[in-house]
Amino acid sequence: MTANPLILGTANLGLGGGGREAAFNLLDTYLELGGTTIDTAAIYSDWVPGEIGRSEALIGQWMAARGDRDTLRIVTKGAHPRLDTPTVGRCDRASIRGDVELSLKRLQTDRIL
For residue 93, the tally of other CB atoms under 10 A from its CB is 7
DSSP 46-86: TTSTT-TTHHHHHHHHHHHHHT-GGG-EEE----PPBTTBT
- Just list the catalytic residues: 44
